[in-house]
Structure 1
Amino acid sequence: MYGIALSVAACLRGGTRVDVAWNLDPGRTSRFDPADAVAITPGGGRLGSLLDGAIDSRLIEIAAAKPTSGRVVEIELNAIESHTVGVAPGTTIRILVAPASTLPGELWDQLLERRPTCLVAELDCDTVVETKVLQTDASGSAVEFGSDSVTTAWSPRPTFVVMGSGPMAEALAAAGELVSWNVEHIGGPDAAVGMAATLSSIDGLVVTGHDIEGTGRVLLAAMNSQAGYLGSVGPQSIQAARLDWLAYRGVTDTTRICAPAGIDIGARTPSEVAVSVLAEMIAVRNPPPS
C-alpha cells in the first residue's frame, strides 16, 4: 500500500476513479511483501504490484464494473496463476477490492508518511459497509478476520538505497536483502538522486565509489530528505573529498552523515563492512531507551 499511496492520492485529488486491491491471505503467499497492493485506473491501468501480477486480469474485470463499495473476493488460482504465485493449483486467495474514494482519507495520509497503519473493514457477508483507520505501533503487516470484519495492519519496510558498483556495493545490497529491506541498488548518481530525495525517517542510503561529484550529489539530495540514515563508505581521502564537495556548496553541518559508515568492529572484507553498516543503521533507527 505504501508504494501506491502517492499515485492513489493524486488520482483522488484529480477526481480520477481508482480501485485498490490487497491480499487478505499473506500466510499463503509468504514470498510476497504483505503490504503489497495494486491500484487500477479506468481502462485497466495498474499502479503497484500484487502477487507479481498473477491475478491482475481478474482484478481489472472487477474494477471495470465500477463497484460502489469494497468487497472481499475469493479467487481460486488456475495453473498459470498458481505457478506465478508459487502455490498449488486450486489454492484460494482472498482479496479485498475497493474504490479508493470509499476508504478514509487519513489512510492515505498515514501511508504517505510511511507510518504503521491499521484499517478495519466492517462486512455484511462479503461487502464492505464501513471502514475506519486505527492507530498502531505494529512492526509487521498482518490480517485478522472477525465474525463480521477484517482488519489489515500494514507496516512499511525500510528502503535501503545503495549507490555505486563493485564488491562493496554488492555486499551492502546483499546484506539489505538478508534483513528483508526494500533494497535499491543504483549504479549511477542520476537515478540515485531522485530516489534519495524521497526517503523517509525509516529509510537509509549509503554511497560508495570514487566519483566525488556523483556521490556528493546523492548525499546532498538525501540530506534534503527525511532519510534516517546516511552513510559514506570508502577510504579516508574519499570521505574528506565528499565532505569538501558538500562544504563548497554551503553544506557545513554534515553530522547526519556517518563517515566512515559502519560500527567499528574491525571489519575488513566487503561483507564484514556491510554487516557493520547495517548494524549501525539499525541502531540509528532503534536507539536504546534513555
Structure 2
Amino acid sequence: MTATTEQRANELRVARSPFVLAVVVRAERPTSAKPGDRAIIRDDGTIEGFVGGSCADTTVRIQALRQLAAGESTLLRITPGGDATRPPGFVSDTPGLVVADNTCLSGGTIDVFLEVVMPSPLVQVYGDTPIARALVAVGGAAGYEVRLAATPGAVPADALAVVVASHGHDEIGVLTDAVAAGVPYVALVASPKRGAAVLAEAGVPAGRVKTPAGLDLGARTPGDVAVSILAEVVASRATATATVTASAGLASPPPRAPQPVSIGAPSAAQSVDNGPVVARDPVCGMEVLVEPGALSLEHAGRTWYFCAAGCRKAFAADPARWGG
C-alpha cells in the first residue's frame, strides 16, 4: 500500500467511514493496471488511487459499492469481450469470485481484490465505574469499539448500543437522548426497583430501555456483569436480524453474497438490495454508475447513460440503431 493510500485508509477508519480497498493482484497484458496498483472506493462511489483505465475504473467502483451493500469482500475479474448470456456483474460458480465481462477493454484481464472495510460496532458507555471500565475491556477484546465517557455527551449517530453505568449520575438525559436517537440497544445498570423508577421519571416507551442491563447469567463481579451486557448486545443484534428476515417472509437469513443488477431496457437505471444505481450503455453494453456528472443524453423522454463520450456520440448520431 502506498503511503498516500495507507494514510487515507487510516483516516477513514478513524472517521468510522466504510470503504473498499481495491488491489490489483493479477494482470494479463495488455492492461494499464499492474499488480500492486490500488485504490480506495468510498460509500458515495468516489475513488482515490488507480486500478486501471476509465472502463476498469467504473467496473471496480460499481462492484465495490455492491460489496459494501453486501458487507463482504470478493475477487473481481474484469475480462474483455463481453458475453450476452451473462448479466452484468456475473457471480461465478467459484465462491468469492465475481466476473465482469467488460466490453470496453481493448484486451487483457485483471483480477482485483475488493476488501470491504467496515467500522467496528460502536458501544457508548457512560459512567466512571468498575462495570463501565470492565465493559470497555470486554467489548474491545470481542472486536467492538467501546467508548467510555465519564460525563454525559452527545450520543454518537452510529452507536449500536448505549449503556448507562453511572450509578445515579445524569442518567435520565442520556437515556432519553439515546432513545430519541434511535439507538438499537439502550440499557441502564441498576437494580430492578431503581431502574423502574428511573425509567418512569424519564418517560421512555415501555420496553425500550433494558434494566437491569445484561442477560441473567448470575453475574456478580464487574467483569461478569460486563460479559452479560455484551452478551445481550449480541443477542439483540441477532434478534433484529431475525425480525427483518421474518418480515420479509424468509425462512432463513437472506444470502449476503452480492447480487447482480438485472437490467432490462438499455440505460434503464436500476438498483438491487440497496446497491448502486446503475444503467447499461446502449452502445457498448457496459454498466454505468448513475451519479452526478455521469455522461448522459435525453432522448425520447428517457435519460440514456454512457461509459464514454464516444458511445454517447455514436448514440446521438443514430439513436434507432441502438434502441433509442
TM range (shorter): 0.5 to 0.7
- The separation in 2 between residues aligned to 1:95 and 1:230, in whole angstroms, is 44
What SS does the aligned partner of 2:173 have?
Answer: helix
For 1:206-225, list aligned pairs within 5 A.
Answer: 206-212=163-169, 214-225=170-181
- Pick from 161, 186, 195 the counterpart of residue 204 of structure 1: 161
* Equivalent position of 1:165 in the other structure: 128
* Equivalent position of 2:303 in the other structure: none
- The separation in 2 between residues aligned to 1:97 and 1:225, in whole angstroms, is 34
User: Scaled by the length of structure 2, what TM-score is found?
Assistant: 0.48
Structure 1 gap ranges (5+): 1-19, 24-34, 40-46, 51-69, 74-93, 109-118
Range moving further from structure 2, 236-245 or 214-223: 236-245
User: Scaled by the length of structure 1, what TM-score is found?
Assistant: 0.53
- The reply to whether residue 257 of structure 1 matches residue 190 of structure 2 is no
For residues 1-22 of structure 1, what are the alpha-carbon distances to aligned partners after superposition, in whole Å with 9 as ceiling and x for unaligned?
Answer: xxxxxxxxxxxxxxxxxxx945
Residue pair 2:188, 2:210 contacting (<8 A) in 1 also: yes
Larger relative contact order (Cα-Cα within 8 Å, sequence gap ≥ 6)? 2
1:229 CA displacement: 0.8
- Pick from 11, 22, 32 the counterpart of residue 38 of structure 1: 11
For 1:72-83, list aligned pairs within 5 A.
Answer: none
- The separation in 2 between residues aligned to 1:266 and 1:123, in whole angstroms, is 54
1:129 CA displacement: 2.6
- The reply to whether residue 226 of structure 1 matches residue 185 of structure 2 is no
- The separation in 1 between residues aligned to 2:146 and 2:37, in whole angstroms, is 27
- 1:219 is aligned with what amino acid? L
For 1:61-210, list aligned pairs within 5 A.
Answer: 96-97=38-39, 105=44, 107=45, 123-124=51-52, 129-130=57-58, 131-132=61-62, 133-135=65-67, 142=73, 144=75, 146=77, 147-189=110-152, 191=153, 193-195=154-156, 198-200=157-159, 203-210=160-167
Larger Rg: 2
* Equivalent position of 1:281 in the other structure: 233
1:126 CA displacement: 12
Residue pair 1:123, 1:148 contacting (<8 A) in 2 also: no
What SS does the aligned partner of 1:162 have?
Answer: strand
- The separation in 1 between residues aligned to 2:15 and 2:211, in whole angstroms, is 35
* Equivalent position of 1:7 in the other structure: none
Residue pair 2:214, 2:229 contacting (<8 A) in 1 also: yes
Residues 228, 234 of structure 1: CA spacing in aligned structure 2 closer, same or farther, 3 A cutoff? same
Residues 258, 194 of structure 1: CA spacing in aligned structure 2 closer, same or farther, 3 A cutoff? closer
1:165 CA displacement: 0.8
- 1:215 is aligned with what amino acid? E
Residue pair 2:37, 2:51 contacting (<8 A) in 1 also: no
Structure 2 gap ranges (5+): 25-35, 78-109, 243-250, 252-324
Residues 72, 285 of structure 1: CA spacing in aligned structure 2 closer, same or farther, 3 A cutoff? closer
- 1:276 is aligned with what amino acid? S
Q: What percent of counterpart residues are identical?
A: 26
* Equivalent position of 2:192 in the other structure: 236
Residues 49, 268 of structure 1: CA spacing in aligned structure 2 closer, same or farther, 3 A cutoff? closer
* Equivalent position of 1:31 in the other structure: none
* Equivalent position of 1:267 in the other structure: 219
Residues 104, 261 of structure 1: CA spacing in aligned structure 2 closer, same or farther, 3 A cutoff? closer
Aligned residues: 190
- The separation in 1 between residues aligned to 2:131 and 2:146, in whole angstroms, is 15
Query: RMSD across aligned C-alpha pairs, in angstroms?
Result: 4.2
What SS does the aligned partner of 1:209 have?
Answer: coil
